[in-house]
Amino acid sequence: MTAMTNEAHKFELIGVGNPLLDALIHVDDSLVAGIPGDKGGMVLVDEQEMSTLLRLLPGQPTLAPGGSAGNTAGATARLGLTTTFLGKLGNDEAASAYAESFRAGGGDTSRFKRGTIPNGRCLSLVTPDSERTMRTYLGAAMTLSPEEISTADFANCKHAHIEGYLLFNRALMIKVLTSAKSAGCSISLDLASFEVVNATKDILPELLKEYVDVVFANEEEAQALMDGETRDAKLISGLLSFCPRAALKIGRARLHNRGSTQHTASARPKGHCPGRHHRSRRPLGSWIPLRMVARICA
């Protein structure tokens, strides 16, 4: 792929994923133990199940714009990169609030698509050990179809950062990857969750090899892809066998693993900004996630 200069691009980064409104709250382990699904994991739920979960909460959650790629794109915009986002918003106040927050942070909202049902939401249950258990209602985001995606969505974008959750809709992920590549974008993929890796191991390695320039993973995601390998050096070499560059987030708390991986991803393109040496990716990639995960709405 022929590299293009920054001047040839209107946007240095386009995030691609589910623009979800996050609801974050501290809870006891007993609440997490009493709901279906594994602690520390992400499970998709429907609108009724989400309403039931919200009624179980001990108080009002903190609301913040989220989504895996949304967090990364929002962070890159605040860092000063020209950033846009491709994903489907709903038809309610939550969708409007999401778009306005993204715009206020410096992001461009022209490539959002609009749906006819409520916006997606992600409930994050944070237990005393700082582990985050997520239950997600995709809402309008899940209605984004491959037919709505084209090369034009990626026009004048230098880099596309894609969240792994799109792999749950394989046809959509393939259309996103092929369209981004056709537009001349370099591509990074955040593996997002060990559940994503386990569910898509039959196609994920080939997609990484064919389309992806940079892969981001935390330890659990990398271990799932490497069939349980636990040695960090082996995990990195394994990731590098699929694509040219890899970033492995090492940390014991899943809250830090998941949240900071998304913000580590935001630091990498910042390291390619004019006037910034490539080695600056390292301190940025450490400092940004440490600052972000200190806040419950990061």
The answer on pLDDT for 141 being more than 70 is yes
- Residue tagged 């007993």 (tokens): 30
Phi, psi (deg, nearest 5) at residue 100 = -65, -40
Could you write out the DSSP letters of every residue in 213-268?
Answer: SEEEEEHHHHHHHTTT---HHHHHHHHHTTSSEEEEE--S-HHHHHHHHHHHHHHH
Report how far residue 15's alpha carbon sits from residue 163's, in angstroms, rounded to the nearest whole number.
8
Q: How confident is the model at residue 228 (pLDDT cuts 50, 70, 90)?
A: confident
Of residues 228 and 279, more confidence is placed in 228
pLDDT > 70: what percent of the chain? 81
| pTM of the entire predicted model | 0.80
Q: How confident is the model at residue 284 (pLDDT cuts 50, 70, 90)?
A: low
- Mean pLDDT score of the chain: 86
Q: Which numeric CATH code is attached to 7-19+67-116+143-292?
A: 3.40.1190.20
pLDDT given for residue 182 in this prediction: 98
Taking only the tens place, the pLDDT of each residue in 34-75 is 999 989 888 999 999 999 999 999 999 998 889 999 999 999
pLDDT given for residue 283 in this prediction: 52
Enumerate the domain spans of the chain.
Answer: 7-19+67-116+143-292
The answer on pLDDT for 293 being more than 60 is no
Taking only the tens place, the pLDDT of each residue in 235-246 is 999 999 999 999
